[in-house]
Structure 1
Amino acid sequence: MSVAAEVFAREGTGATLKTVAAEAGVGIGTLYRHFPTRESLVDAVYRVETQRLCDAAPHLLEQMPPVEALREWCLRFLDYMATKHGMADVLHTVLNTNEGLRLDTRVRLYRALRLLLAAGQSDGRLRPDLDPADVSLALGGLALILDGREDAREAGSRLFALLLQGLAHP
């Protein structure tokens, strides 16, 4: 899955299943046996990447202070959005045919973000009135601005630093 996610993020909608198979070190037939359609591969990648991002929140909090964990998670969120963009056309179809998946993803992302924000609020470094939905919208806006930029990770880090100033407790 991680190879497919990298290919989708790097090549966007032009990514071919042949490229995914080659970079994963498997034949195209093997890929098609596991994922008979592009939609099934995109669905699987989307689910795995969402789970990976959501699972990262508590692990980051174990490894670093809350604001640094939030920063790292948000940079990973921007990477996640880049992967989603690379699958955009097919993912749109997948999510439109599975409203439950779309809603479940939103709930899980908000839960992870809420955990990170609450930790930062508990240690007094983040404002007490933060809403995960608002922060999520801001991150989504950053992802749109950074879409397709070669320096997206670096620019995302700088832009998130500006956003973090607004999230910080005065």
Structure 2
Amino acid sequence: MDENEAAAGRTAPRKRADARRNVEALLDAAAAVFVASGVEAPVRDIAAEAGVGMGTIYRHFPTRADLIIAVYRHQVEACAEAGPALLAAAPTPHAALAGWIDLFVDFLVTKHGLAAALRSDDAGLAALHAHFLDRLVPVCARLLEAAVDAGEIRSDLEAYALMRGVGNLCIGADGDPRYDARRLVGLLVAGLRQAV
């Protein structure tokens, strides 16, 4: 291997890491725009938020469905990774659970409009939903288990039921400015506390 090949080998992983970070920043920008304007927001708004040209978005995500799916998967992964981090950093397991539920609410708001946007691909939606459950239910279960083990919350609730309840409280939040889903979810999480 000559000097040029060795130099190319050293820079290739850095370029890949930079490209990955750029795509993640693009997905974060798209998620922010989706929260503010829904999944039908113009691509130019996403490009402006990300600070890139529209061509960059289309190069990575040729269709709106590709972008929506990528944002959804990116947020599922971020939510899944946040659980253990919150459990390690929060002062109590209940605080970690409450923090994670806040992130989960943000995720649910972002995914608003996903089904309508992908209506033509029912199999794809089923796969996304399965991915969502596979990644997030175990994280929520671990947070609940830690809070139960610490004696902070009641033990008669399963992760799926809690996530479903949170999801139901978030339905329609965008249709009525007087409806505060986050406050209601906060009351639900506070209500899990063990009576002393």
After TM superposition, the score normalised by the length of structure 2 is 0.77
Give the distance between the partners of 1:61 and 1:28, measured in 2 at CA.
39
Report the counterpart of residue 169 of structure 1 in structure 2.
194
Give the distance between the partners of 1:87 and 1:13, measured in 2 at CA.
7
- 26, 33, 45: which one pairs with 2:52? 26
Report the counterpart of residue 135 of structure 1 in structure 2.
162
1:85 corresponds to 2:84: no
Q: Secondary structure at the match of 1:111?
A: helix
- 84, 97, 106: which one pairs with 2:133? 106
Could you tell which deviates more after superposition, 132-141 or 98-107? 98-107
Shift of 1:75: 1.0
Within 5 Å, which residues of 2 pair with 1:19-168? 19-64=45-90, 65-93=92-120, 96-97=123-124, 99-148=126-175, 155-168=180-193
Provide structure 2 residue ranges, at least 5 long, that are not aligned to the other structure.
Answer: 1-26
Q: Secondary structure at the match of 1:85?
A: coil
Give the distance between the partners of 2:44 and 2:38, measured in 1 at CA.
14
Q: Secondary structure at the match of 2:147?
A: helix
Give the distance between the partners of 2:186 and 2:97, measured in 1 at CA.
11
Shift of 1:167: 1.7
Give the distance between the partners of 2:166 and 2:66, measured in 1 at CA.
27
Cα distance change of structure 1 residues 138 and 151 upon mapping to structure 2, 3 Å threshold: same
Provide structure 1 residue ranges, at least 5 long, that are not aligned to the other structure.
Answer: none
**Is the radius of gyration larger for structure 1 or structure 2?**
2
Q: Secondary structure at the match of 2:171?
A: helix
Shift of 1:88: 4.2
Q: Secondary structure at the match of 2:191?
A: helix
Once the two structures are superposed, residues 79-101 of structure 1 have per-residue CA deviations (whole angstroms, 9 ceiling, x without a partner) of: 10110005442245556325333
The one-letter code of the counterpart of 2:85 is H
After TM superposition, the score normalised by the length of structure 1 is 0.88
Identity %: 38
- 27, 35, 60: which one pairs with 1:9? 35
Question: Which has the larger share of helix?
Answer: 1
Say what the alpha-carbon RMSD is for the aligned residues: 2.0
Could you tell which deviates more after superposition, 62-71 or 94-103? 94-103
Could you tell which deviates more after superposition, 26-35 or 112-121? 26-35
Which aligned segments of 4 or more residues in structure 1 are displaced greater than 6 angstroms?
A: none
